[in-house]
C-alpha cells in the first residue's frame, strides 16, 4: 500500500474535565469516570442548569512564566497548552520555527466569550473595536513562532472534525510541512450557560451532576456543557516515518453535509447525516464491517440521540449489532466546539488500548436507540478503524475516520 | 469564479431589505429563518442574491454545493445589549437565539438553509484576518469530490456601529458583503479567476479584506488584483479573458 497521501497524527495535547494529558484522559475514559460537577466558578443561582464538565486550572506549559501565563484569557491558556503539548509530544517543538508549521483550530464563539469575560471584569472592550486587533489563532501563531498559515473554523459542535479535515488537505496540497489541528472551547461562562439553558437544551438534573449526562438512556433530559480541548500534530506519512516517531493513527477519511433544516433542531430526515457518514467511509475506503468503534455524537438530548441511532442503523446495516457505539460525552459533558476534537482523542485511546470507552449512566437504554452499546464499563475490543460522528447547530453533520497506522 | 455579488449597506438599508431577501435569491424563505439573524447575515444573503441575479446561476440547483462564510466580529452590537441585559436581569435575560445566530457558524448555517445546500457549511475566521482564512479554507475545498461548487461569503462593518455612541463625522457604518461562486479551475474558463497561493511570498500591498474584494469587483478592472494573505502568501483575482479583450477593443476604438 502506498503511503504517499497518508496523513498521520504524531502528537496530542489536551486538557479536559478528565485530565490534562493524553494518558490521564485515556485512563479516566476507560475507567468510566465523570468530570461533571456543580459550577462554582460563578454564581449559577438563577441558571436553569447549574452543572458542567469543568477543570480548575490550565497547566502552564514548559518554558512559560506562570504569572504571565495566568494573565492570559482562559481560552488562550487552553489553546496554548494544547498546542505546546502536542508539538512536544510529536518531537516538533524545537524545530517549529524552521518548518512551515500551520494551524487549523475549531473555535466557535471566540469574540462573544472574550467580550463577556472582559465585561464581567468591568471592561469596555466590546465597545472598543480597535482593541480587537488580533484573533486567537494569530496570537497563537505569534506566541509559538509559527511560519505557516492559520485559520479558525466553526461548524459549532462539528468544528474539530472540520479542523482535522482542513489540516489534512493543507498537507496534501503542500501548503504546510506540519499542521496543528484541533479545537478548544472554554464556553462554560455565565451567559452561555444561561443561553443554552434558556434554549431548553441542557439537563436540569442539578442535584446529581455525575448522572446528568446520559446519552441513549431513556431518562435523559438534555446535554451537560463542558469545557476543554484537544490539538493534534498532523504530518505526512513519509516525514513521520522518516523520523521514526510515535504514530497515533492515520486521518483516513472525512465526510460532511448540511441538514438545511433548522439552526438548532436536527433534521427529522436522516439522509444528510447518513450522507456525511457514507462520504467519510468512502473517503477512507472502509466498509462498515471493518469499523471497530464509533464514538457517537449523542449529546443526551431526547431528539438528537434517537435521530443519530436511525442514522447509524442505516449506515451500518448488518453490522449494527456488532460495531460498539458509545458516547464519551456521558463523562466529559458536551465540549461544544471542542467536542469533535476530544472525541477524536477518545478514538485514539480505543485504538491504542484495544478497549472501547463506555457510555456511563446508561442503565435504561431508549428502545429507539437500538445499538451495540457499551454501557457503564469499558469493553476490551480490537479497534483498527474508529469513527467519530459530530453534528452541530447550523445543521452541520460530520464524520471522521481514523485508522491504526 | 462563476459569479460574484457585492453589497454595501447601512443598518437602515439592511432593515429595509429583510422582507425582500427571498425574492433576491429566487426562493421562498421561512419567516423564522432570518427573524433572529444578524445584520451581517442579511448582507450575506443579499450579496448571494446579487451574484445570482448577475449571472446564469438562477436555475442552478445548489443541493450539493458547499458554503463558507467569514464574518468579521459578528454580533458585537447584539452582544453589547445582551451583556447589559444579563447584568440587569440575570440568567433569564439571555436570549436563547444569541448562540445559534451570533456564533461563527451562524451565517453559513443560515445560508445553507436559504439556498437548500446539503453540502458542507462552515464559518471561518470571525475577526481580523478572516478574509485570508476564508480564502485558504475555500481554496482547500473547491474541486473536492463531490462538491460541484462552493459559495464563499465575506462580511464586515467599517466602521463598526456602536449603539449609544456618537457617529463619527463622515464615517457612517457600512456593512460590506461579497459572495463568490467558485468552481475548480478549468483551462477553458474565460471568466474571472481566483488564485490563492499560501506559499507565495508577497511583501507589498494590503492584506485582503471584504472591502478590498468589494472595491476590486465593483470597479471591473482590466488588470489582475493582488493582495497579501494575513499569515503570508498571496491572493490574486484575474479578470476574464473576454472582459480584457472588450476593454482593449474599446481603447483601440477610442
Pair A101, A92: CB distance under 8 Å:
yes
Residue B247 has pLDDT above 60, yes or no: no
Q: Does residue A232 share a domain with residue A260?
A: no
Pair B156, B71: CB distance under 8 Å:
yes
- Interface pTM (ipTM) of the complex? 0.97
Q: Does residue A378 share a domain with residue A315?
A: yes
Q: Within a domain: residue A84?
A: yes
Q: Does residue A265 share a domain with residue A135?
A: no
Distance of CA A310 to the CA centre of its chain: 22
Q: Does residue A331 share a domain with residue A393?
A: yes
Alpha-carbon span B151 to B149, nearest angstrom: 7
pLDDT in tens, B172-217: 999 999 999 999 988 898 899 999 999 877 667 899 999 999 999 9
Q: Does B120 touch chain A (CB under 8 A)?
A: yes
pLDDT in tens, A355-372: 999 999 999 999 999 999
Q: Does residue A203 share a domain with residue A117?
A: yes
Q: Within a domain: residue A3?
A: no
Q: Mark residue A395 as left, alpha or beta (left: phi above 0; alpha: psi -120 to 50; beta: remaining).
A: left
Alpha-carbon span A266 to A202, nearest angstrom: 16
Of the candidates A215, A212, A210, A203, which has an alpha carbon nearest to the alpha carbon of residue A366?
Answer: A215
A49: Cα within 13 Å, side-chain hemisphere? 32
Peptide bond into A15 cis (omega under 30): no
Q: Within a domain: residue A215?
A: yes
DSSP string, A71-131: HS-HHHHHHHHHHHHHHHHHT-STTTTTS-EEEEEE-SSHHHHHHHHHHHTT--GGG-GGG
Q: Does residue A181 share a domain with residue A227?
A: yes
Q: Does A138 touch chain B (CB under 8 A)?
A: yes
Would you call A260 and B230 a contact, using CB atoms and an 8 Å cutoff? no
Q: Does B53 touch chain A (CB under 8 A)?
A: no
Question: CA end-to-end span of chain A, whole Å?
Answer: 12
Q: Does residue A275 share a domain with residue A133?
A: no
Residue B169 has pLDDT above 70, yes or no: no
Write out chain A residues lying below 8 Å of B45, CB-based: none
Mean pLDDT of A293-298: 98
Write out chain A residues lying below 8 Å of B137, CB-based: 151, 153, 166
pLDDT in tens, A334-356: 999 999 999 999 999 999 999 99
Would you call A199 and B96 a contact, using CB atoms and an 8 Å cutoff? yes
Alpha-carbon span A348 to A292, nearest angstrom: 12
Q: What is the CATH number of the domain that holds A114?
A: 3.40.47.10
Residue B248 has pLDDT above 50, yes or no: no
Please state, as a whole number, how many other Cβ atoms lie within 10 Å of the Cβ of residue A124: 11
Point out the domain boundary residue: A243, A267, A288: A243
Calculate what percentage of chain A has a pLDDT beyond 70. 99
Q: Within a domain: residue A1?
A: no
Top pLDDT among B220 and A129 is at: A129
Q: What count of CB pairs under 8 Å joins A to B? A: 221
A14: Cα within 13 Å, side-chain hemisphere? 28
Q: Mark residue A209 as left, alpha or beta (left: phi above 0; alpha: psi -120 to 50; beta: remaining).
A: alpha
Nearest CA distance, B251 vs chain A (angstrom)? 40
Pair A166, A403: CB distance under 8 Å:
no
**Whole-prediction pTM:** 0.96
Question: CA end-to-end span of chain B, whole Å?
Answer: 30
Point out the domain boundary residue: A186, A212, A243: A243
Residue of B nearest to A264 (CA): B100
Q: Within a domain: residue A2?
A: no
Q: Does residue A101 share a domain with residue A75?
A: yes
Q: How many structural domains comprise chain A?
A: 2
C-alpha cell at A291: 469499523
Best residue in A52, A148, A153 for a mutation probing chain B (most B CBs within 10 Å): A153
> Which of the 8 DSSP states describes residue B145?
T
Nearest CA distance, A303 vs chain B (angstrom)? 17
Residue B228 has pLDDT above 90, yes or no: yes
Sign of CA pseudo-dihedral A54, A56, A61, A66: positive
Q: Does residue A160 share a domain with residue A127?
A: yes
Please state, as a whole number, how many other Cβ atoms lie within 10 Å of the Cβ of residue A303: 12
Q: Within a domain: residue A86?
A: yes
Point out the domain boundary residue: A243, A265, A300: A243
Residue A306 has pLDDT above 70, yes or no: yes
Give the structural domain span for A119.
8-243
Structure confidence at residue B30 (pLDDT): 87
Pair A202, A47: CB distance under 8 Å:
no
Alpha-carbon span B57 to B227, nearest angstrom: 28
- Residue A320, strand partner residues: none
Q: Does residue A231 share a domain with residue A88?
A: yes
Structure confidence at residue B245 (pLDDT): 41
Mean pLDDT of A394-405: 97
Q: Does residue A265 share a domain with residue A316?
A: yes
* Cα B82-B83-B89 angle, rounded to 5 deg: 80
Residue A1 has pLDDT above 50, yes or no: no
Q: Within a domain: residue A66?
A: yes
Alpha-carbon span A331 to A374, nearest angstrom: 13
Would you call B96 and A275 a contact, using CB atoms and an 8 Å cutoff? no
Q: Does A197 touch chain B (CB under 8 A)?
A: yes
How confident is the prediction for chain A on average, in pLDDT? Answer: 97
Q: Within a domain: residue A248?
A: no
Domains, chain B, with CATH or none: 3-251 (3.40.47)
Q: Does residue A272 share a domain with residue A225?
A: no
Collapse the DSSP code of B13 into the 3-class scheme (helix H, G, I; strand E, B; otherwise coil) and give the result: helix
Amino acid at each position: 500500500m502506498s503511503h504517499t497521501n497518508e496523513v498521520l497524527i504524531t502528537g496530542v495535547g489536551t486538557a479536559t474535565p478528565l485530565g490534562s494529558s493524553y494518558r490521564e484522559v485515556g485512563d479516566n475514559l476507560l475507567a468510566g469516570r465523570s468530570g461533571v460537577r456543580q459550577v462554582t466558578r460563578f454564581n449559577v443561582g438563577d441558571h436553569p442548569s447549574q452543572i458542567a464538565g469543568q477543570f480548575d486550572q490550565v497547566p502552564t506549559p514548559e518554558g512559560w512564566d506562570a504569572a504571565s501565563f495566568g494573565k492570559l484569557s482562559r481560552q488562550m491558556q487552553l489553546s496554548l497548552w494544547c498546542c505546546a503539548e502536542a508539538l512536544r509530544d510529536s518531537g516538533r517543538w524545537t524545530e517549529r520555527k524552521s518548518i512551515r508549521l500551520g494551524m487549523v483550530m475549531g473555535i466557535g464563539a471566540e469574540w462573544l466569550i472574550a467580550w463577556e469575560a472582559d465585561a464581567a471584569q468591568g471592561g469596555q472592550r466590546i465597545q472598543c473595536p480597535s482593541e480587537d486587533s488580533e484573533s486567537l489563532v494569530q496570537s497563537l501563531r505569534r506566541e509559538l513562532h509559527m511560519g505557516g498559515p492559520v485559520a479558525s473554523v466553526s461548524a459549532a459542535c462539528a468544528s474539530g472534525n472540520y479542523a482535522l479535515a482542513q489540516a489534512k488537505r493543507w498537507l496534501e496540497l503542500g501548503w504546510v510541512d506540519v499542521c496543528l489541528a484541533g479545537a478548544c472551547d472554554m464556553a462554560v461562562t455565565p451567559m452561555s450557560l444561561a443561553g443554552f439553558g434558556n434554549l431548553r437544551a441542557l439537563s436540569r438534573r442539578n442535584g446529581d451532576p455525575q448522572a446528568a449526562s446520559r446519552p441513549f438512556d431513556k431518562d435523559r433530559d438534555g446535554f451537560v456543557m463542558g469545557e476543554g480541548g484537544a490539538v493534534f500534530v498532523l504530518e505526512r506519512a513519509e516525514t513521520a516515518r522518516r523520523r521514526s516517531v510515535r504514530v497515533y493513527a492515520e486521518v483516513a477519511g472525512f465526510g460532511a453535509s448540511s441538514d438545511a433544516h433548522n439552526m438548532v433542531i436536527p433534521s427529522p430526515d436522516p439522509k444528510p447525516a447518513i450522507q456525511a457518514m457514507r462520504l467519510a467511509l468512502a473517503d477512507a475506503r472502509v466498509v462498515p464491517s471493518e469499523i471497530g468503534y464509533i464514538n457517537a455524537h449523542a449529546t443526551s438530548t431526547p431528539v438528537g440521540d434517537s435521530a443519530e441511532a436511525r442514522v447509524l442503523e442505516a449506515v451500518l446495516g448488518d453490522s449494527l449489532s456488532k460495531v460498539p457505539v458509545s458516547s464519551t460525552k456521558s463523562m466529559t459533558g458536551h465540549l461544544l466546539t471542542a467536542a469533535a476534537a476530544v472525541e477524536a482523542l477518545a478514538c485514539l485511546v480505543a485504538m491504542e488500548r484495544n478497549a472501547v470507552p463506555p457510555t456511563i449512566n446508561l442503565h435504561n437504554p431508549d428502545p429507539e436507540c437500538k445499538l451495540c452499546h457499551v454501557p457503564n464499563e469499558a469493553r476490551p475490543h480490537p479497534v483498527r478503524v474508529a469513527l467519530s460522528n459530530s453534528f452541530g447547530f447550523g445543521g452541520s453533520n460530520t464524520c471522521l475516520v481514523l485508522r491504526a497506522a | 469564479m462563476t459569479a460574484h455579488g457585492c453589497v454595501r449597506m447601512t443598518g437602515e438599508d439592511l432593515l429595509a431589505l429583510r422582507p425582500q431577501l427571498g425574492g433576491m435569491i429566487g426562493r421562498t424563505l421561512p419567516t423564522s429563518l432570518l427573524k433572529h439573524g444578524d445584520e451581517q447575515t442579511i448582507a450575506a444573503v443579499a450579496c448571494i442574491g446579487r451574484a445570482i441575479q448577475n449571472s446564469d446561476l438562477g436555475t442552478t440547483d445548489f443541493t450539493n454545493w458547499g458554503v463558507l462564510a467569514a464574518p468579521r466580529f459578528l454580533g458585537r452590537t447584539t452582544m453589547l445589549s445582551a451583556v447589559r441585559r444579563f447584568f440587569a436581569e440575570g440568567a433569564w435575560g439571555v436570549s436563547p437565539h444569541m448562540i445559534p445566530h451570533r456564533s461563527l457558524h451562524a451565517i453559513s448555517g443560515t445560508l445553507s438553509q436559504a439556498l437548500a445546500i446539503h453540502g458542507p457549511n462552515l464559518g471561518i475566521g470571525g475577526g481580523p484576518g478572516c478574509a485570508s482564512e476564508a480564502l485558504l479554507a475555500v481554496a482547500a475545498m473547491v474541486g473536492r469530490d463531490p462538491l460541484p461548487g462552493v459559495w464563499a461569503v465575506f462580511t464586515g462593518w467599517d466602521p463598526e456601529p456602536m449603539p449609544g455612541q456618537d457617529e463619527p463625522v463622515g464615517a457612517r457604518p457600512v456593512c460590506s458583503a461579497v459572495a463568490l461562486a467558485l468552481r475548480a479551475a478549468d483551462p477553458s474558463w474565460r471568466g474571472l479567476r481566483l488564485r490563492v497561493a499560501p506559499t507565495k511570498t508577497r511583501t507589498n500591498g494590503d492584506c485582503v479584506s471584504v472591502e478590498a474584494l468589494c472595491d476590486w469587483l465593483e470597479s471591473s478592472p482590466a488588470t489582475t488584483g493582488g493582495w497579501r494573505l494575513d499569515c503570508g502568501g498571496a491572493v490574486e483575482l484575474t479578470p476574464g479573458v473576454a472582459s480584457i479583450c472588450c476593454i482593449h477593443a474599446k481603447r483601440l476604438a477610442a
